[in-house]
């Protein structure tokens, strides 16, 4: 079969096979993680601390982290390790009042006898990698521990990890991340189970084997000699940790992951912060692939299976644009009434495979990984499904940014010191605005709604759940991207910090605090109104798109079905009936192909052909059904119906992307942009007013 349907179906199948390979590899790693004998032996090995403890440098790369800087430095200074063997470098690239805060904390601990230095750079050259590199030049330690701003290392961290470096080829040891705010929201829960699966499946499977395991940027210790031998920290990618890890492995260094040491950290609580973090990881991984993959693949020292695992690991984010392509193609195939299968049971096989290799398989892994907590983790995994689908737009942009060589600033993930459910972050600094990708997420959400209806009206309701899950994901991500960019909760009463400040100035606590709170409440109300308007506008856009489908695309799909039935009609009467139905379903005039129009897709000519077939069918009724003339007439009309089907299949894609639809979509997106711009303006004005009043207080 030829035509756009066959082409799209071929692309769809090719993508399916690629995604299948990545999915199967996850389950392969899940198997290895439970059967990594070398890892278990090494982890359980009884090792004594060296009699003479080595000097360790702890590096703390920070950038505008005033909400968590104190927590991090306090935790580091409580680590159980001799002070004379410990050097602490606070690598501060901040450009706000975090600089003064850190300086005061460093002075405090230096007074207590800690070997601590505050290294403040003003140009941020190389970003985090540049800061680590600058600190390494003046470091004293034989080993280097790294903690990002949102981490809280336990007291026994160093003494436990340093033992494993009795192996002279041990390059780095990575610990599992914990989550101090895992239960804060569905967003943090989804991120928690995602990171846990990464550590307990991928990292555990590769640990202390010939597979290349990457350092996760924090909560680990490096041997200084390994860093130097691998070429040091490079600033050419956004994931300096993964870059250095691969170079170290190619130089013959080993790595170890420990799941019995958990370093707690703060998960991003804002959707836009999560998207920024995921963007950096996705783009950085593709940058490393472009930089190092060829070297790994051609190296004779790297085993074949290690090359395969490295390829999958470096390129795993390519699944994001492939998934979006599938999401776009599949409803088109259903709308074209393309024959996806030859057997009636095939859709159920597809659905079963999807469940087995998707949610079902992951739930089985979760059950094996968390025996006692698997119900909680399964609930978290539900939201991970939505987050993983919704964030594919963000990660797809990141992948293309990397492939096209677009340079990006290393954008930090803001932390707000959020630990408990009652902690609020919306009124703090560093809250991010929604990004342009939100517009694309809204588009895919609306497209998904239409696709669900297409699957149902095209007679393929079995596919509706497969389309609905990512659609919910796009709605979930887009909604939180908008909602998290505004103040949503009314805060009763004046902030606690305001009252003593007013009293100290001899002002009226009630009057001034109430004015500040009124500004905040007014802002909240405005934001709720605008947010409600955006959601109504999105729903209205989906309703209009659905109406357009019902009035134009769906009748064309029905016409295709009638033409297919006409090709198998056994009598002229049946054939004429199906042709009449086709004629009624199609427009009387027009040509949907606005680019390089052909006579094949001219509806006037198609209608004339249908009239001609109906006349011929009426004439054929009078011919002896056992005669050769009757058979020739029936074959000729069947061939005409087949040709009309091909013509309609050629026209159908252009009905989706008609000039009118493109104009409507452009106006709709422009209106969304205007609404977003208005929201940002309202945010800016209200926030400025609030801050001015707060300063006055």
The residues spanned by each domain of the chain are 17-271+285-293, 486-697
Q: Is the pLDDT of residue 377 over 50?
A: yes
pLDDT band per the 50, 70, 90 thresholds, residue 595: low
Spatial separation of the C-alpha atoms in residues 266 and 420, rounded to whole Å: 11
Q: Is residue 97 exposed (0-12), middle (13-18) or buried (19+ Cβ within 10 Å)?
A: exposed
pLDDT at residue 539, as a whole number: 73
Instruction: Report H helices in 464-602.
Output: 464-483, 498-505, 509-548, 554-567, 572-585
Spatial separation of the C-alpha atoms in residues 222 and 165, rounded to whole Å: 9
Q: Per-residue pLDDT averaged across 496-505, rounded?
A: 41
E-strand ranges in 149-225 read 151-152, 170-179, 220-223
Q: Is residue 386 exposed (0-12), middle (13-18) or buried (19+ Cβ within 10 Å)?
A: buried
Q: Is the pLDDT of residue 526 over 70?
A: no
pLDDT at residue 191, as a whole number: 97
Q: Per-residue pLDDT averaged across 252-259, rounded?
A: 95
- Which tokens is 38 given? 């070398």
pLDDT at residue 655, as a whole number: 79
pLDDT band per the 50, 70, 90 thresholds, residue 496: very low
Q: Per-residue pLDDT averaged across 237-250, rounded?
A: 96
Q: Is the pLDDT of residue 338 over 80?
A: no
pLDDT at residue 486, as a whole number: 54
Average pLDDT, the chain: 87
203 to 158, 195, 206: CA distances (angstroms)? 20, 10, 5
Q: Per-residue pLDDT averaged across 623-634, rounded?
A: 91
Q: What's the pTM?
A: 0.76
Q: Is the pLDDT of residue 487 over 60?
A: no
* Cα three-residue angle 551-556-559, rounded to 5 degrees: 130
- Cβ atoms 120, 90 nearer than 8 A: no
Per CATH, the number for 17-271+285-293 is: 3.90.550.10
Q: Is the pLDDT of residue 502 over 60?
A: no
pLDDT at residue 489, as a whole number: 42
pLDDT at residue 495, as a whole number: 43
Q: Would you call 498 helix, strand, or coil by DSSP?
A: helix
The percent of residues above 90 in pLDDT, for the chain, comes to: 59
Q: Would you call 258 helix, strand, or coil by DSSP?
A: strand
| Lowest-pLDDT choice from 74-88, 338-352, 442-456, 592-606 | 338-352
Spatial separation of the C-alpha atoms in residues 328 and 53, rounded to whole Å: 59
pLDDT at residue 14, as a whole number: 93
DSSP code for 497: T
645 to 23, 387, 564, 613: CA distances (angstroms)? 37, 40, 7, 14
- Exposure string over 466-505, b if 16+ CB within 10 A, otherwise e: bbebbbbbbbbbbbbbbbbbbbeeeeeebbeebbebbeee
pLDDT at residue 678, as a whole number: 67
Q: Compute how many other C-beta atoms are within 10 angstroms of the C-beta atom of residue 113.
A: 9
Give the residue carrying structure tokens 């982890």: 43
pLDDT at residue 681, as a whole number: 66
Q: Is the pLDDT of residue 624 over 60?
A: yes
pLDDT band per the 50, 70, 90 thresholds, residue 543: confident
pLDDT at residue 316, as a whole number: 96
Q: Is the pLDDT of residue 342 over 90?
A: no
Q: Is the pLDDT of residue 519 over 70?
A: no
DSSP code for 49: P
pLDDT at residue 381, as a whole number: 94
pLDDT at residue 504, as a whole number: 42
- Cβ atoms 645, 637 nearer than 8 A: no
Q: Is the pLDDT of residue 494 over 50?
A: no
Q: Per-residue pLDDT averaged across 125-150, rounded?
A: 96
250 to 133, 244, 293, 296, 570: CA distances (angstroms)? 21, 10, 11, 8, 70
Give the residue carrying structure tokens 């198609």: 606
Q: What is the DSSP annotation of 437-457?
A: HHHHHHHHHHHHHHHHHHHHH
* Cα three-residue angle 658-662-663, rounded to 5 degrees: 115
Nearest CA among 423, 550, 563 for reference residue 489: 423
Catalytic machinery residues:
93, 241
| Lowest-pLDDT choice from 35-44, 209-218, 260-269, 315-324 | 35-44
Q: Is the pLDDT of residue 259 over 50?
A: yes
Q: What is the DSSP annotation of 209-246?
A: SSSPPPP-SSSEEEEHHHHHHTT----SSS-HHHHHHH
Spatial separation of the C-alpha atoms in residues 252 and 230, rounded to whole Å: 10
DSSP code for 299: -
| Lowest-pLDDT choice from 454-458, 536-540, 691-695 | 691-695
| Lowest-pLDDT choice from 32-36, 217-221, 339-343 | 339-343
Please provide the size of the chain in residues: 697
């Amino acid at each position: 079969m030829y035509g756009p349907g066959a082409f799209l179906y071929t692309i769809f199948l090719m993508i399916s096979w690629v995604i299948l390979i990545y999915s199967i590899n996850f389950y392969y790693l899940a198997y290895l993680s439970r059967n990594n004998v070398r890892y278990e032996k090494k982890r359980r090995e009884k090792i004594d601390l060296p009699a003479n403890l080595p000097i360790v440098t702890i590096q703390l790369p920070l950038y505008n982290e005033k909400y968590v800087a104190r927590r991090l430095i306090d935790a580091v200074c409580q680590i159980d390790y001799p002070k004379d063997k410990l050097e602490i470098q606070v690598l501060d690239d901040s450009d706000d009042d975090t600089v003064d805060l850190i300086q005061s904390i460093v002075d405090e601990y230096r007074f207590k006898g800690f070997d601590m230095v505050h290294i403040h750079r003003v140009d941020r050259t190389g970003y985090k990698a540049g800061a680590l590199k600058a600190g390494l030049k003046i470091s004293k330690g034989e080993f280097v521990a790294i903690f990002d701003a949102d981490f809280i290392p336990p007291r026994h961290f160093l003494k436990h990890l340093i033992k494993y470096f009795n192996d002279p080829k041990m390059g780095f040891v990575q610990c599992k991340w914990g989550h101090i705010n895992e239960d804060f929201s569905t967003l943090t829960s989804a991120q928690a189970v995602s990171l846990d699966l990464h550590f307990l499946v991928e990292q555990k499977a590769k640990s202390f084997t010939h597979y290349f395991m990457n350092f996760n940027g924090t909560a680990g210790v490096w041997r200084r000699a390994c860093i130097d031998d691998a070429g040091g920290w490079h600033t050419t990618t956004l994931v300096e940790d993964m870059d250095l890890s691969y170079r170290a492995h190619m130089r013959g260094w080993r790595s170890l992951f420990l799941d019995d040491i958990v370093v707690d950290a703060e998960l991003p609580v804002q959707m836009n912060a999560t998207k920024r973090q995921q963007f950096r990881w996705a783009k950085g991984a593709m940058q490393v692939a472009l930089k190092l993959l060829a070297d790994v693949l051609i190296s004779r020292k790297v085993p074949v299976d290690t090359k395969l695992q490295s390829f999958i690991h470096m390129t795993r984010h390519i699944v994001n644009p492939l998934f979006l392509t599938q999401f776009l193609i599949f409803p088109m195939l259903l709308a074209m009434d393309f024959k996806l299968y030859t057997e009636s049971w095939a859709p159920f096989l597809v659905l079963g495979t999807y469940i087995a290799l998707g949610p079902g398989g992951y739930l089985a892994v979760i059950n094996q990984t968390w025996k006692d907590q698997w119900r909680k983790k399964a609930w978290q995994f539900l939201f991970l499904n939505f987050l993983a689908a919704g964030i594919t737009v963000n990660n797809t942009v990141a992948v293309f940014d990397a492939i096209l060589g677009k340079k990006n600033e290393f954008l930090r993930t803001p932390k707000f010191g959020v630990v408990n459910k009652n902690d609020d972050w919306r009124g703090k600094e560093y809250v991010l605005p929604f990004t342009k990708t939100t517009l694309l997420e809204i588009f895919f959400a609306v497209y998904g709604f239409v696709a669900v209806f297409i699957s149902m009206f095209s007679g393929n309701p079995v596919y509706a759940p497969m389309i609905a899950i990512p659609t919910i994901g796009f709605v979930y991500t887009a909604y939180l991207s908008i909602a998290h960019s505004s103040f949503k909760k009314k805060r009763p009463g004046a902030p606690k910090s305001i009252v003593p400040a007013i009293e100290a100035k001899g002002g009226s606590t009630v009057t001034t605090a109430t004015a500040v709170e009124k500004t905040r409440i007014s802002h909240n109300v405005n934001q709720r109104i605008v947010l409600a308007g955006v959601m109504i506008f999105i729903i209205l856009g989906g309703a209009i798109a659905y109406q357009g489908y019902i009035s134009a695309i769906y009748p064309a799909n029905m016409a295709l079905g009638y033409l297919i039935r006409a090709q198998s009609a056994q009598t002229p009467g049946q054939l004429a009936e199906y042709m009449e139905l086709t004629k009624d379903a199609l427009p009387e005039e027009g040509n949907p192909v606005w680019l390089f129009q052909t006579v094949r897709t001219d509806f006037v000519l198609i209608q004339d052909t249908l009239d001609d077939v109906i006349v011929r069918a009426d004439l054929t009724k009078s011919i002896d059904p056992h005669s050769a003339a009757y058979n020739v007439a029936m074959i000729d009309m069947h061939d005409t119906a087949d040709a009309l089907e091909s013509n309609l299949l050629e026209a159908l894609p252009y009905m989706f992307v008609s000039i009118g639809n493109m104009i409507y979509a452009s106006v709709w997106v422009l209106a969304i942009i205007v609404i977003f711009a208005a929201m940002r303006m309202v945010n800016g004005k209200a926030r400025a007013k609030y801050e001015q009043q707060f300063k006055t207080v």
